[in-house]
Each structure stands twice: as C-alpha cells, then as structure tokens.
Amino acid sequence: MDGWTRQTLAAQAMGRIDAQTRAVVPPIHLSTTYLRDPDNGYASGFVYGRPDNATVRDTEAVIAMLEEAPAGALLFSSGMAAATACFMALAPGDHVVASAVMYWSLRNWLRTEATRWGLRVDFVATDDLDALKAAMRPGETKLVWIETPSNPLWTITDIAAAADIAHAAGARLAVDSTCASPYHTRPLALGADIVMHAATKVLNGHSDVIAGVLAGARPDEYWDRLETIRRGGGAILGPLEAYLLQRGLKTVFVRAAAQARAAQALAERLAAHPLVAQVLYPGLPGHPGHAVAARQMENGFGFMLSVRVRGGEAAAVATAASVRLWKRATSLGGVESLIEHRASIEGPGTPCPADLLRLSTGLEAVDDLHADLDCALAAAHA
Ligand SMILES: *Cc1c(COP(=O)(O)O)cnc(C)c1O
C-alpha cells in the first residue's frame, strides 16, 4: 500500500476510517447476523457472525500485511486452535515431522489427539538439517512443523533450508513464529507456506486476549480447508478480542524492539553472573543457533531467554520464588516481564532442564529487571 512500511501501516491498523462517522478508531461490530436483501441475496457478503465479522476481518488484514501473506490471515480463538487446524486439514495416514523442542501443549496434542486422528508424527531436532532430511518420507510427509526460536531452549531452525527440504519431499512447511514476531522474522519470505502465531503473546502484548492466527503464502486448496475447518469447527475469535488485538498490533513494532533490546542486554549481563551456569539466547554468539538466527532474524533476536541456575532445580525454584518485580507466571510476550520454572509446568518427559528458568522480557527498565534477578539469585543461594 503506497510503499509504506509495515511499521507505518500497523501503527494506523491500515489507516481504515469508519465510512459512516469518519471515526479514526473503527467501531466494534458485535452483530451476530446481517439483514438479508429483499431479493433474498446478501449483497454485502456478510451473512452470519461465525464466518463473517468486520472487526475480525480488519484485524486479519493487519496481520496479513505484517506477514506479507498473499492468502491473507485467519484468526482463531487461541493459538492452539490455529495450530491444530493445520493438522486437522491433513488426512488420516498422512505423515508429519515436527520439532522435538517445541511448545509443550502442542507437542502433547500431536502425541495424543493427532495420533488418534490417524496422523503419523515424528519429532526430530529440526535445527539439524541432516536429521530433518532423514525424517522426510517423500510422498507421505505432508507437513513439516517448526518453531523458531523454540520453547524453552530457543533452538533455531533454518527456515529457508527447512522449506527446501519440505518442498523437495512434497510437503508444506508451517512455522510457529510466536517467539520471533513479524518484527524479527518473515517466514513466508523465507519460503514457508504457513506462519502461525499465538496472538495471545507479543502480537496482542498486554496479557488480556487469548487468540491465534494463521497467515498463508497462497490461497490454495489447503488454505481453503483451513478456512472451512475454522468455519465448521467454530473456533472463531470474538469481536471484542479482535478489537483488543488490533489495538495491540498498533504498537507491536515498538514493543518488540524495546523488549528485544532489553532481552539482549539482560542475556549479556546474566551470562557474566557468577550464580548463572548458562544463558540461552540466540543473540549471544555462543548460542548454537546464533549464526542462523543472525541470518534469518531482523532487528534483534526476540524477547525470550532462559537461564540455567547454578545449584540445580532447587536453586532455580528458589530464585523464581524470590523475585519481586518479575511476575512468576506462565505465558510470554506481554509488557510485564514473566519468569517461570518451565520443567515443573511441562511435567514428566519434558526435554527442559530442571535448573532452567524461562524469562519473557517486558517493557520495564533493564536495570530494574537485572537488579531484581540479581537479588533473587543471591537470596536463593544464601
Ligand atoms: C502460547 C503458545 C502457543 C499456544 O497459544 P494459546 O493462545 O495459548 O493457545 C503456541 N505456540 C507458542 C510458541 C506459544 O508460546
């Protein structure tokens, strides 16, 4: 649109003005139904609230613009609803390859529900391209699912290389880009077919909306199936949530920028902390995915990092128990910084080390965030 940047278009939610009132902030459309024409048609194209809602569509347009998605975007009632639709659009017997280190709830769903549905799922270390290649079954593998950076080790998968490998075997590549955000990574430009976000996280950014979204590289038969699954299954986003998300999207670039700067500074300071055994952050040169991340991420390396605390699980839990400024809570990407002992929420079978604390950096001053962690680490080791 006029060559304006994504930041400019996002700041004005595409610059739409309400046609009737000239309101700069559009109204929230709550109606569940629309008046039918006297000739029995629906010239407006709006029939019923489940598939048709202007607030939802306007918010989808902003995300489609951010992801530069020719097929557009589809909002869902949660990140999980968006992600699971990608698998429900496959057929029983289809083979799927997914990252071994990934968002825990989705991994569990793939291991249980997707398998019951008849999908054959293999989990591989997708940061190892040879392992990914070896896992492909040409003609049978229909979808490769990666998350990058991935929870909670911030493992980096090379999106362009994974797309080549998937396509060579006749599969699509879907990328959970929640922890990268459109500010840092554009998976479709790198060759992915589908990008998914838990819009609950940094896209909304204020920890007050549960939402998910898919953006597509092309309006093909698979994309039609995703839309059909949402319409028929009914996992739609409500208009109030869509409005709040649209408001959050206006500031996503400035929030993501500030949060990534803070995360980088914290990672560097904590890496030198005597009570920290290891910092996991793709922006650190020692991180195994740093070189690939530097190539495929823009504007920094995101707002998520993890620290492994000296003294093991007990010291990690005690550190989380001692913070005052960081909020001890799950989730990520909000303006308030969150800390979480990840292994205890993921439970048995998790690949997450027991001494790991997951940090979601918000918008507080870095010095305050560092000082609070420094005190908590000292208290845990006293
Ligand atoms: C939170 C999250 C999800 C799931 O999103 P919900 O909105 O909680 O359903 C999926 N992937 C990642 C990486 C997440 O952080």
Q: Does the active-site annotation cover 103?
A: yes
Helix (H) or strand (E) holding 250, with range, is none
Instruction: Report yes or no: 155 and 144 within 8 Å, Cβ to Cβ.
Output: no
Q: What's the topology of domain 6-249?
A: Aspartate Aminotransferase; domain 2 (3.40.640)
Q: Give the percent of the chain with pLDDT over 90.
A: 97
Kindly state if the Cβ of 154 falls inside 6 Å of ligand 1: no
Look at the block and give the residue holding tokens 């009132």: 21
Tell me whether residue 164 is exposed, middle or buried, using C-beta atoms within 10 angstroms of its C-beta: 0 to 12, 13 to 18, 19 or more. Answer: middle
Q: For residue 162, which of 172, 151, 149 has the smallest C-alpha distance?
A: 172
> What is the per-residue pLDDT for 347?
84
Same fold, 6-249 and 254-380: no
Does the pLDDT at position 114 exceed 70? yes
Does the pLDDT at position 348 exceed 90? no
- Mark 315-327 as b/e (b = at least 16 C-beta within 10 Å): bbbbbbebbebbb
Q: Which of 106, 157, 194, 201 to mutate to test the pocket of ligand 1 (most atoms within 8 A of CB)?
A: 201
Kindly state if the Cβ of 292 falls inside 6 Å of ligand 1: no
Helix (H) or strand (E) holding 269, with range, is helix 252-271
Residue 361's pLDDT band (cuts 50, 70, 90): very high
- 60 CA to centre of ligand 1 in angstroms: 18
Q: What integer is the mean pLDDT of 343-358?
A: 91
Does the pLDDT at position 351 exceed 80? yes
Tell me the pLDDT tens digit for each residue of 3-19: 899 999 999 999 999 99
Tell me the pLDDT tens digit for each residue of 160-198: 999 999 999 999 999 999 999 999 999 999 999 999 999
> What is the per-residue pLDDT for 1?
57
Would you list the domain boundaries of the chain?
A: 6-249, 254-380
CA distance 67 to 174: 13
Tell me the pLDDT tens digit for each residue of 277-289: 999 999 999 999 9
- 80 CA to centre of ligand 1 in angstroms: 6
CA distances from 41 to 32, 38, 44, 53, 241 (A): 17, 7, 9, 18, 30
Does the pLDDT at position 2 exceed 80? no
Q: Which two structure tokens, joined as six digits, stand for 160?
A: 């362009």
Does the pLDDT at position 319 exceed 60? yes
> What is the per-residue pLDDT for 349?
82
Q: How many C-alpha atoms does 224 have within 13 Å on its Cβ side?
A: 3
Tell me the pLDDT tens digit for each residue of 124-149: 999 999 999 999 999 999 999 999 99
Q: Give the percent of the chain with pLDDT over 70.
A: 99
CATH class of the region 254-380: alpha beta
Tell me whether residue 345 is exposed, middle or buried, using C-beta atoms within 10 angstroms of its C-beta: 0 to 12, 13 to 18, 19 or more. Answer: middle
Atom number in ligand 1 closest to CA 80: 9
Does the pLDDT at position 294 exceed 60? yes
Q: Which residue type occupies 381?
A: H
Q: Is omega for the bond preceding 149 within 30 degrees of 0, making it cis? A: yes
Report how far Cα 68 is from the mean position of its chain's Cα atoms.
16
Look at the block and give the residue holding tokens 């699980």: 313
Q: What integer is the mean pLDDT of 219-229?
A: 98
- When the pLDDT of each residue in the chain is averaged and rounded to a whole number, the result is 97
Q: For residue 14, which of 51, 52, 70, 66 has the smallest C-alpha distance?
A: 66
Tell me the pLDDT tens digit for each residue of 202-211: 999 999 999 9
Q: What integer is the mean pLDDT of 318-336?
A: 98
Q: Which of 178, 194, 332, 340 to mutate to test the pocket of ligand 1 (most atoms within 8 A of CB)?
A: 178
Instruction: Report yes or no: 170 and 139 within 8 Å, Cβ to Cβ.
Output: yes
Kindly state if the Cβ of 176 falls inside 6 Å of ligand 1: yes
